[in-house]
Amino acid sequence: MVDILFYGTVNSVTFALIAVGFTLVYGVSRLPNFAHGAIYVLVGFMTWSFVNDLNLNYLLAILISLCISSLLGAAIYRLVLIRLRGLPTSEIIASFAFGLIILEGLRLQGIGGFKGFIGPFYVLPSFIDAKIRVAGMLIDAQRLIIIGGGLAVVITLWLFTHYTKIGLSLRAIAQDEQAAMMLGVDSDRVAMISLSIGSALAGLAAVIILPLGNVTAEAGYRVLIYALAVCIIGGLGSWGGAILASFVLGFAMIVSTSLFGAVWESVVLVGTIILILIFKPSGLLGKQKELEERV
Amino acid sequence: MDESRRNFLKTIGITAIGAGTIMTGIGKAHAQAKPILVGCPVPRASAYGQNGERGLILAAEEINAAGGVKVGSVMRPLKLEIIDTRDEEPGVPTSEVLLAIEKLILQKKADVIVGGPCMSECSIAAMDLYARHKIVDIVSIGSYTPTWDQKVAKDPEKYKYSFRASGSVKWYIKEGVDLLHGIKENFGYNKMFISIDDSLMCRAASEIVKNMAVKDGWQITGFDKHPIAATDFSVALSDCKKSGAQILFIWAYAPETSILLRQWADMEVPALPIGFIGAAEDPGFWKQTKGKGAYTIVTLSETGCTPSNVTPLTKKYYNAFQKKWGVPPRSTGCVSAYESVYVLKDAVERAGKLEANALIAALEKTDLPAVRGTVRFDKNHQIIYGYNPKESVLGNWVQWQDGDRITIFPKEGATGAIKMPPWMKKS
């Protein structure tokens, strides 16, 4: 029981970390950033490269990678999405294409001697390599860092969006874009900032979660699916819903694995999405009334 | 300068020019001998493919440096025509792999095919291609399914062009069960938890292992089947711990299995991990897991991937590979691809020509001392694995100890004994 509680929490916070950036962007600018998973993976590889190829300090490598991911997010908006705003299908296709370029580019070989990031060799170091015994169960420090990191991200975001000028403008646009614009908030600037922060959050999730596993390009697709699942279940754009959905999914997957085996994980993921779409199409805490009224 | 001295210099000069001309002529004659074009389908994005390619190149370079291959009375160099088949990459269909092979046959005019593809479904499909074009193929990187030799057995005349110098999963399972038997005898263990990737190959292999182990007196305490690319194994490992298993038998090729083994060490699961574990084959596994993969026992499939003295060529190959590529041979494909080029050389020299039927007859009679042992093919053109290096080639089970892969089975190649993790040692 203790292990289900602990690993369920770790799983849930992992989902939350992965999804929070995606939700922020969608909540603020209604832009579905389908390059989210690719940015997550890119930060993992960049950090690995800075540490192993350039021998940079780990924390400095993380900082540089997060800055690059933040700039990349801003560039995606400025160069591509700004022209497509209001065209949801085009936004999805364009951002997904951007993600594809990143992911497939990472696997590309032979150009300028680049060997491609292929295989299980890319592992980020743990922040602390230790383990403690709790209630007879051995727990490694990196998993505790995930829980702590997740909590810190949520608190920092809440403080940021409630007590800073940029954060308040993000919320203003999210609540009522036209009213916010009438009050002098620049919608494009805020959307760019949201994409920039969302991409940095994807990167932050990567450097917190990836020390538990390997960095692989393929993970980008999985991360995108997880982020989408959390957002759909929680309610698109709802931050509270995303956190709640992360815990629903995190525990549902651990419990189902425990009862029926790990192969049911994907069934639980997809099954939960379908059930939510049937009974509460706007998600657990979603506020899209037009969807509710269809039921 | 007097006349005699001038004549002497003239003679020397003429002799030197003459000798130079003759030497250049010989050089030209050698360089102009038509190379034997060896088509090499290789999945370059996979670790198996990359290492197989290294084996092929090393062998071809060694053979060419020694003068080439004697075809009749002519020494001909080998020329490798390597093509990336991209099998093992996600989403690449078999048809694309077959197109790459067909390009080698029709466009590049390969005399013979050696190497991949690595994925069983691709190499099996390619057999029809070789039969249609009547070209000899020695598949020597991966492709372990028993279906391969079953296909040859069904229609030996049609598929006579295909030979498999890599192993068969049938043999690796037998080795695994024999190893487990030894552990049962030596350590008194009899409880096993099985964990596999959810794939056809892993399910089938684990079922056979389970049945054979139960017959040998093992009790299966639990079973975990996780999706490929799963990244959290805490539930399965908790179950394994609670079940009282002493062995954690793993059959999984996904790179994420290294996460399982790191979690195994973090949770101090008192069951020794053993099996076919793709991630643990790599020499970089220790660094990848930061040493948490210690004590893992894994099959490298091929003698020669670690320095041992199974044959006089084993250590020689190991050292040559490391010198050429700067890393030790990994596992599957490294040795078999290397040996297959020598098998080809041996067969061509005995046949005296490259004509398919002559080559097939020579390959069937192969009895070549090599790196893994002695290369011989059975009636279905499958290389013969066994425990006697004078009659067959040998596998290679290693345990990760202090950053090195130490061969612990079969005993003919063993360079160390099995060690237990501290949390499994009896006080």
Q: Does B44 touch chain A (CB under 8 A)?
A: yes
Query: Which residues of chain A have a CB within 8 Å of the CB of B83?
Result: none
Residue that the structure tokens 């030497």 belong to: B23
Query: Which residues of chain A have a CB within 8 Å of the CB of B47?
Result: 119
CATH of B36-167+308-375, one of 3.40.50.2300, 3.40.50.450, 3.40.50.960, 3.30.530.20: 3.40.50.2300
- Region A53-81: what's the mean pLDDT? 93
Q: Does B368 touch chain A (CB under 8 A)?
A: no
pTM of the model: 0.79
Residue B91 above 80 pLDDT?
A: no
A204 close to A17: Cβ distance less than 8 angstroms: yes
Separation in Å, CA A118 to CA B44, B252, B337:
10, 18, 21
CB contact under 8 A, B229 and A218: yes
Touching A: B residues 63-102, CB under 8 Å = 90
3-state secondary structure of A110: coil
b/e string for A240-264 if b means 16 or more Cβ within 10 A?
A: ebbbbbbbbbbbbbbebbbeebbeb
pLDDT for the residue B185: 92
Query: Which tokens go with B283?
Result: 């020499």
pLDDT band at A123 (very low <50, low <70, confident <90, very high): confident
Residue A187 above 70 pLDDT?
A: yes
Where do the structural domains in chain A lie, given as residue ranges? Answer: 2-108+120-216
Q: How far is B259 from chain A (nearest CA, A)?
A: 5
User: Nearest residue of A to residue B230 by CA position?
Assistant: A262
ipTM: 0.71
Task: Could you please state the CATH topology (level 3) that the domain comprising B170-300+396-424 is classified under.
Answer: Rossmann fold (3.40.50)
pLDDT for the residue B361: 97
Residue B391 above 60 pLDDT?
A: yes
Residues whose CB is less than 8 angstroms from the CB of residue B185 and which lie 6 or more positions away in sequence, other chains included: none
Q: Tell me B188's DSSP state.
A: -
Lowest mean pLDDT among A3-12, A45-54, A277-286: A277-286
Query: Which residues of chain A have a CB within 8 Å of the CB of B255?
Result: 119-120, 214, 216
Lowest mean pLDDT among A98-107, B174-183, B229-238: B229-238
pLDDT for the residue A292: 54
Where do the structural domains in chain B lie, given as residue ranges? Answer: 36-167+308-375, 170-300+396-424
pLDDT for the residue A289: 56
% of chain B surpassing 70 pLDDT: 91
Residues whose CB is less than 8 angstroms from the CB of residue B132 and which lie 6 or more positions away in sequence, other chains included: none
Residue B364 above 50 pLDDT?
A: yes
pLDDT for the residue B19: 56
Separation in Å, CA A157 to CA A27, A153, A223, B391:
13, 6, 21, 68
pLDDT for the residue A288: 63
Quick count: other Cβ atoms within 10 Å of Cβ A207? 23
Query: Which residues of chain A have a CB within 8 Å of the CB of B264?
Result: none
Under 8 Å CB pairs connecting chains A and B tally to 85
- Region B272-291: what's the mean pLDDT? 89
pLDDT for the residue B20: 55
The tally of CA atoms less than 13 A away on the side-chain side of residue A1 is 0
3-state secondary structure of B213: helix
What's the per-residue H, E or C state across B306-353? CCCCCCHHHHHHHHHHHHHHCCCCCCCCHHHHHHHHHHHHHHHHHHCC
User: Nearest residue of A to residue B47 by CA position?
Assistant: A119
Residue B289 above 90 pLDDT?
A: no
Task: Compute the Cα dihedral for B265, B266, B267, B268 and give only its sign.
Answer: positive
- Region B92-117: what's the mean pLDDT? 91
- Region B72-86: what's the mean pLDDT? 92
pLDDT for the residue B13: 58
Q: How far is B47 from chain A (nearest CA, A)?
A: 7
pLDDT band at B27 (very low <50, low <70, confident <90, very high): very low
CA–CA distance, B299 with B215 (Å, rounded to integer): 22
Separation in Å, CA B178 to CA A1, A16, A59, B390, B410:
37, 46, 48, 20, 9
Q: From the list B224, B233, B282, which residue is nearest A120 (CB)?
A: B282
CA–CA distance, A170 with A189 (Å, rounded to integer): 10
pLDDT for the residue B28: 47
Touching A: B residues 262-301, CB under 8 Å = 262, 266-268, 278-279, 282, 284, 287-290
Residue A53 above 60 pLDDT?
A: yes
CB contact under 8 A, A126 and B44: no
Chain mean pLDDT for chain A:
86
